[in-house]
């Protein structure tokens, strides 16, 4: 049985999430503050965390940053529409996904299942002996075994999700991949709300690998189709 930690200071939201998750066979724990969430995460075998951003004592962003110092358990942020800046910051710190309040229970369950599949699969996966260990596209180099990315010979710090997106694009250089394709491959689940989730990660990835993200030379958008990785030619 998988243990899911729900961290939110609104009792109604916690109760609703418990009902949805327990009906699917998950065990749940709950916390009202980021500080309490960190304690429960340290004391229990947690497989996924649903983490609100705005909470008393310690907010979700601070809790996430501290959690990522020692733990790579999947974190799905619970955000309000007005918290876009914090949502992007959370993804940059290491959140794996987000859902926006008021949320659809079907969407929450789909994202939980997707993250658990991805976490449990990647956690035990090693690179196949017959799979390429390194990929090069233009000035980008990716070492899959060493989990390292170089841009013009300089290391680039990526979150695990950004790394997997970049690897997928580097495996298909010049090929347009739709947000739904990317979501299926990277999140290992059905692409419920894939466009916005993928777009946020792509934006952050572009900020890290492009000299001028407004005029990308590597990671490009193909209007109404998706994204592709080129070797560095101008659009």
User: Which pLDDT tens digit goes with each residue over 178-221?
Assistant: 999 998 888 777 766 677 788 888 988 999 999 898 888 999 99
Name the more confident of 162 and 231.
162
Confidence of residue 120 (pLDDT cuts 50, 70, 90): confident
Task: Write down the pLDDT at residue 193.
Answer: 63
Q: Are 18 and 6 in contact (CB under 8 A)?
A: yes
pLDDT of residue 8: 94
The candidate with the shortest Cα–Cα distance to 31, out of 13, 20, 19, is 13
Residue 231 has pLDDT above 80, yes or no: no
Q: What is the pLDDT of residue 235?
A: 40
Whole-number pLDDT of residue 118: 74
Whether the CA torsion 136, 141, 142, 146 is positive or negative: it is positive
Supply the mean pLDDT for the chain.
85
pLDDT band at 126 (very low <50, low <70, confident <90, very high): very low
Task: Read off the pLDDT of residues 153-167 as tens digits, 9 standing for 90 and up.
Answer: 999 988 778 888 999
- Per residue, the 3-state secondary structure of 151-211, as one string, reads ECCEEECCCHHHHHHHHHHHHCCCCCECHHHHHHHHHCCCCCCHHHHHHHHHHHHHHHHCC
pLDDT at position 223 over 80: yes
CATH 3.30.1440.10 fits 3-123, yes or no: no
Domain boundaries, the chain: 3-123, 134-229
Alpha carbons 65 and 103: distance in angstroms, whole number: 24
Q: What is the CATH number of domain 134-229?
A: 1.10.10.10
Q: What is the mean pLDDT of residues 74-83?
A: 81
pTM to 2 decimal places: 0.67
């Amino acid at each position: 049985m998988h243990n899911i930690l729900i961290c939110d200071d609104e009792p109604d939201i916690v109760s609703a999430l418990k009902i949805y998750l327990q009906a699917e066979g998950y065990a749940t724990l709950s916390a009202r503050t980021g500080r309490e969430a960190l304690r429960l995460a340290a004391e229990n075998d947690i497989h996924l965390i649903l983490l609100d951003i705005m909470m008393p004592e310690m907010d979700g962003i601070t809790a996430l940053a501290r959690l990522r110092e020692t733990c790579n358990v999947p974190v799905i942020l619970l955000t309000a529409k007005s918290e876009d800046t914090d949502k992007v910051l959370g993804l940059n710190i290491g959140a794996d996904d987000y859902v926006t309040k008021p949320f659809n229970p079907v969407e929450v369950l789909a994202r939980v299942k997707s993250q658990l599949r991805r976490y449990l699969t990647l956690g035990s996966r090693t690179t196949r002996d017959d799979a390429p260990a390194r990929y090069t596209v233009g000035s980008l180099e990716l070492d899959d075994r060493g989990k390292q990315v170089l841009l013009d010979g300089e290391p680039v710090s990526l979150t695990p999700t950004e790394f997997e997106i970049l690897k997928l694009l580097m495996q298909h250089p010049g090929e347009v991949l739709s947000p739904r394709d990317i979501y299926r491959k990277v999140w290992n689940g059905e692409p419920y709300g894939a466009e916005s989730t993928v777009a946020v990660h792509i934006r952050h990835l572009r900020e890290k690998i492009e000299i001028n993200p407004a005029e990308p030379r590597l990671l490009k958008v193909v209007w109404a189709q998706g994204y592709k990785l080129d070797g560095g030619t101008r659009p």
